[in-house]
Structure 1
Amino acid sequence: MSTLTVPAQVPSPAEDSEQLKKAFKGWGTNEDLIISILGHRNAAQRKAIRKTYAESYGEDLLKELDKELTRDFERIVMLWTLDPAERDAFLANEATKKWTSSNQVLAEIACSRSSHGLLLARQEYHSRYKKSLEEDVAHHTTGDFRKLLVPLVSSYRYEGDEVNMTLAKSEAKLLHEKISDKEYNHEEIIRILATRSKAQINATLNHYKNEFGNDINKDLKADPKDEYLAILRSTIKCLICPEKYFEKSLRLAINRLGTDEGALTRVVATRAEVDLKIIKEEYHKRNSVTLDQAIKKDTHGDYESVLLALVGHENA
């Protein structure tokens, strides 16, 4: 459910590269030209442009963008131009570097991507940083966070729809017991969340609600200030309804005093070609304004223009 609009007649990568080269020339950069090209090309087309640009001019397009652009505009164009796996590796590495207990980016990447998508991100991490994502996560986290996040980022879940209802019932009971005993870091909770398929977890949590009367995340709100519980709730939300998780991320990013550009940029860049259409519908339902309107009100300039292009605003 992509929000990206790609022209019916897409210029060749060579033409796009030539136009981008023009955009960097002379006094001042032509930001509108950059947006009109990169903001309307899909992942495969952007990859072809990068390859052609390097072959034609002997320069790395990402380095050129880094040199020419600044601040939030630069960050979103750079993230967007990366391949999805490269982008995830970059964001995950950044998250391990500036780790704070409330940093949910690692759980977000581990749980909202497909098994294959996460595997590609981990492979990209190897080649880019010469070590593994698991290694960095283990090194930069401690205690319960490490206990949860290392298996999450190492996971390779079964992707099918098959569900074992007997297992769903027994594991729902197990989860309820551990949560009732406030054993939130119990290895069985972590095992279920880190290894079961998304379909199986969904069945388990539906049974949990039917049997015990509460949504599991409600039972995990025992202490709203507990950062570990917050990540546990995010993990569950990303696994079973990512569009609600990302809607909330956008709502919090936009509705605070001063926009959280980091979160806004990350969600738009990582979801525009995945499910941003559904996230936008969810956003409209929850906030009575459209995401486009919220972006217009809260951002400006080239940063606003590229965001609007990626969320599929009709005039962008």
Structure 2
Amino acid sequence: MHACVVHGAGDLRIEERPAADPGPGEIAVSVALGGICGSDLHYYHRGRVGDFAVTAPMVLGHEVVGHVAALGPGTTGPAEGTPVAVHPATPCGTCPECADGRRNICAHTRYLGSAARTPHVQGGFAQHITVPADQIRPLPAGLGLRRAVLAEPLAVALHAVRRAGAVRGRRVLVTGAGPIGCLVVAALRQAGAAEVVVTDLLDAPLRLAAEVGATATVRADRPDDPAWGDAVDVAIEASGAPAGLRTCVERVRRGGTVVLLGLLPPGEVGLLGNVAVTREIELRGAFRFDGEFDEALALLAGGLPVDPVVTHTFPLERSVDAFDIAGDRAVASKVLLDLSGT
């Protein structure tokens, strides 16, 4: 089989690798589509995501869908050929966080295509992968692979909205209109947010944000634009930029909530601490997801309007082109790799 492998910053290769047979409790999947995530782009461009650096060749990708290829000995699961999505996380199940129902912050989680652990966990941008059976999700009836591939990033968005607390009837600011930011918009509207204001430095992603439900969009470099409106009840930082975090803290009302979703640059980042103190602003982190993955599949099957987020599809052999386009936010949002070829 072939796989998309990062060796370091700027070093992305398509390599031939052996396909592993599933063992007991495992299921093999023929991967059809994979979505390029912001973390994949960071590994490609910088050789790291936040504090997690690539120290050995690693197959990228954690947003993948395909078909069941084989079940391991004694394994119960969907029949061969069943279209499925792959939940990318394998938490330990025994730590205090797992016991407390917060498996998404398990320190011992194995996550597809992540350099957080050594040895790294190989990812899903391969034509054939083998994962624990409990990571496999048969697609709901009527849900096609092209929409289902958004389940992982939509689950991230759903978790961030859940961390924000009650949003029904509220006014919410989202900083960053990349794929995650746009999916946060859709999740907020589905959860009943009355107004969703989205800010970004580029016009193209703002147009996409409007297509998926933003009630107002504003350029981040135009602080006097009346589209900003009054202070918001909740702000979700989805850009991963320190300036985005500053905007959230500045624009949220007294006693409001700021959710930090985008991963900021490594090291210390400036924070308007005194503003957070004197206004009693709540700062909440949002990292990955857990059960929201199944909720995301159900919402996608139910027609949640997120199709505009997918803008490009490339065959696996053109992975470098796909990553380069995905890094150009002026023209692309979610870029897919088609791994179904030979």
Q: Same fold (TM over 0.5)?
A: no
Would you tell me which structure has more helix in proportion to its own residues? 1
Larger Rg: 1
Q: Normalising by structure 1, report the TM-score.
A: 0.32
Would you tell me which structure has more strand in proportion to its own residues? 2
Higher relative CO (Cα under 8 Å, sequence separation at least 6) belongs to 1
